[in-house]
Each structure stands twice: as C-alpha cells, then as structure tokens.
Amino acid sequence: MAMTTSFDKFNLKLTVATAKTTASSTVAVTGIATEDKLVSVLRMGATAGSITDVTDIISISAAGYITNSTAVAAGKYLVYWVDRSL
C-alpha cells in the first residue's frame, strides 16, 4: 500500500505507486484530484539507479488516478503533485 506524504507549506504531495506497463493504463494515487497539478513523475526501474522522468506521458485522469499515454517498463512511479484544494 502506498503512503502519501504532504509538504504542507507548498501543498506538495508525494507518493509511490506501481507502474503499469501498457499504454493508457490507470494507476491509483490516493488523494490526487483532477484540479491538482502534476509536478513530476519519475519511474524507478528494477535495476538499481534506473530512474526515468515520465512526467510528459502522465496525466491526472480522474480523482484518485493517473494515466500513462504510452507503454512503460515495469517499476514504480514516484509521483509529486500540488494539491490545489488546500
């Protein structure tokens, strides 16, 4: 289960979620909303030190979910976003 961390002063949130490898896959991100702003999404691969910036292929698709527009390798997403509801 992913834990969401909040950096209150800037309304910046951070969580780790499991990346899905097929295009147009939705990934659950607890607390994210459609009015929020993605800051960065990094994909951490299985190989130590393997980190790829995938922010440009990720969007907030619905409350609690992000979607990747193209296929990615297996791994974890490190998701940073600004919570605009605060």
Instruction: List Cα–Cα distances, 72 to 11, 54, 76, in angstroms.
Output: 28, 9, 10
49-86 pLDDT per residue, tens: 789 999 999 999 999 999 999 998 889 999 999 998 86
pLDDT score for 9: 67
For 64, which DSSP code?
T
Query: Strand pairing of 58-62 and 65-68?
Result: antiparallel
Domain borders along the chain are: 5-82
What's the whole-number average pLDDT of the chain? 88
1: confidence class by pLDDT, cuts 50, 70, 90: very low
Whether 8 shows a pLDDT value over 70: the answer reads no
Measured CA to CA, the distance from residue 19 to residue 84 in angstroms comes to: 24
